[in-house]
Structures are given as structure tokens and as C-alpha cells.
Structure 1
């Protein structure tokens, strides 16, 4: 499969979460997404004199569903359910919620009053410490989940038919 074939197939199957995608299809499409964001960001910086990231964000919004679909099918090609791709994203959501509670704990515990030279209470310190530990643990979990996903994406296709369909033909 060539680069152009992978990009064409990625867009043609943008809403297809059934079936399987071989390694070249996924990794060529990955390269397209990475290079596209890089080039668009570079052009935005050169043409506008600053990198606001608006065009890159728009590109990523357009490419999100096709990229998710090809990744989903790639995991299924290795015999794993595609929903595993959502685990790192779920960790980001939980981490965001926890960091919001960390901010609330700091403000409620008197962090805002520390600017006036007043000490923070012991209860607030415990809340901040527990929340910070949770945020760090979630960051490590997200890193590990991402590494596992990359490892799975790099694995060979499962031979023969599997739960997700027949083995894609090699061309």
C-alpha cells in the first residue's frame, strides 16, 4: 500500500469502524496527519507571523474521525477491540476533572490568602496533596496507556479471520 492509497482509503472509510486495517494503512495515515499538522502550523506561522494554531486545530477537527476510524480498525486487525483507543482520552477527561478539583481545593484552603502572608490550613494541605498525587498518577497512567496503544498498533496483523472480519488482502 502506498502513501496515497492509505490516505484515500482513510478518507473513504472515515465512518467505518467495522473491519480491519493493516499496519501500512494506519502508519501511512498517521504520517499524513502528523505531516499535515506540521506543514499547516509552519505555513500559519510564516504567513501570519505567529502561530495561533487555529488552522492546525481546524485540520485536526476535520481529520479526527477518519484517524479514529483507521486506528479503531487497526486495533481490530490485531484482535483487540477498537474502544481501547478511548482509554487515554478518558484518562485525560478524568485528569482534567481532578485538576479542577485541585484548583478548588487550593482556593478554598486559603491558597489565595497566602499572598497576604497567611498560612494555609492543614486540612487544605492534605486535600491539595491528595489531589496532586492523583493528577500525577493519572499522568503516569495516561503515558502507560499511550505506550501500550502504540505497541499494539505496531504489532503484526492477526492471521486469518478474527472476530472483526477476514484478514485484509495484501496488495
Structure 2
């Protein structure tokens, strides 16, 4: 499979979460997404003189569903359920919710209270920040580990023969 075939196949299968995708299809599409975000951010920097990230965010929103679908099919090609790909995303959502509450608490009580181990500086100030910071670190580690596991699974060979997700894709 060529780079162009992978990109065309990724967009054709943007709404297809059934079936299987071989390693080249996934990794070529991954390269397209990575390079595309880099080029868009570079263009934004050259056009605006600063990088706000707005164009990259729009690019990522536009490419999200096709990238999710090809990753979903890739996991199924290795014999794993595609929804496993959502685990790191769920960790990101939980981390964002926790870090948002941690940020609000820090803003209310100041950094000094946090450095003192979360001792309240005033009523409603820093209570519970130590636990929130610990939780945030734990979620960050969980996110890193989940991401590494997903990369490991994506790099595994195709499961030979038919599996629960369909027949083995043809080699072109």
C-alpha cells in the first residue's frame, strides 16, 4: 500500500468501523495526520506571524473521524476490539476535568498554599489540592501508559486468517 492509497482509503472508510486495516494503511495515515498538522501550524505561523493553534485545531477536528476509524479497524486487524482506542481518550477527558478543578483551586488559594501541602489559606481555599495534584499525576501516568500500549498494539502484525472482525485484508 502506498502513501496515497492509505490516505484515499482512510477518507473512504471515514465512517467504517467494521472490518480490518493492515499496518501500512494505519501508519501511512498516521504520517499524513502528523505531517498535515505540522504543515498547517507552519502555514499559520507564516501567515499570522504567531501560532494560535486555531487552524491546527480545525485540521484535527476535520481529520478526527477518519483517523479514529482507521485506528479502530487496525486494532480489529490485530484481534482486539476497536473501542480499546477510546481508553486513552477517556483518560484525557478525566484529566482535563480534574486539571480544570485543580486550576480553579490554585487560582482561588494561590500557589503558596499548594506548596504548603494544601493547607487552607482562607475558607474554601486549598482544601483537597494535594489529592487533586496526586490524582492528576496518576492520570498523566495512566495516559502515558495507555498511549504506549495502543502504539504497541498498532505495531503488532496482522492476525492471520479470519477473526471476529472479518476476513484478513488482501495484500495489494
TM-score using structure 2 length: 0.88
User: Stretches of 4+ moved more than 4 A in 1?
Assistant: 104-108, 112-115, 122-126
Q: Distance in 2 between matches of 1:59 and 1:149?
A: 23
Q: Distance in 1 between matches of 2:146 and 2:88?
A: 6
Matches for 1:51-62 after TM superposition, within 5 Å: 51-62=51-62
Displacement of 1:100 in angstroms is 2.9
Does the aligned pair in 1 maintain the 2:22–2:74 contact within 8 Å? Answer: yes
Relative to structure 1, the CA distance from residue 132 to residue 121 in structure 2 (aligned partners, 3 Å threshold; closer, same or farther) is: same
Displacement of 1:107 in angstroms is 5.8
Q: Distance in 2 between matches of 1:16 and 1:168?
A: 14
Query: What residue number does 2:69 align with?
Result: 69
Q: Distance in 2 between matches of 1:34 and 1:113?
A: 36
Does the aligned pair in 2 maintain the 1:14–1:69 contact within 8 Å? Answer: yes
Displacement of 1:126 in angstroms is 5.9
Query: What residue number does 2:92 align with?
Result: 92
Displacement of 1:99 in angstroms is 2.1
Matches for 1:3-18 after TM superposition, within 5 Å: 3-18=3-18
Relative to structure 1, the CA distance from residue 51 to residue 79 in structure 2 (aligned partners, 3 Å threshold; closer, same or farther) is: same
Gaps (5+ residues) in structure 2?
none
Query: What residue number does 2:151 align with?
Result: 150
Q: Paired residues, what number? A: 166
Q: Distance in 1 between matches of 2:145 and 2:13?
A: 29
Aligned residues: CA RMSD:
2.3
Gaps (5+ residues) in structure 1?
none
Q: Distance in 2 between matches of 1:166 and 1:114?
A: 60
Query: What residue number does 1:78 align with?
Result: 78
Q: Distance in 2 between matches of 1:33 and 1:64?
A: 9
**Which deviations, in whole Å up to 9, do the C-alpha atoms of 1:35-79 show, x marking residues without a partner?**
111111111111221112222111111111000000000000000
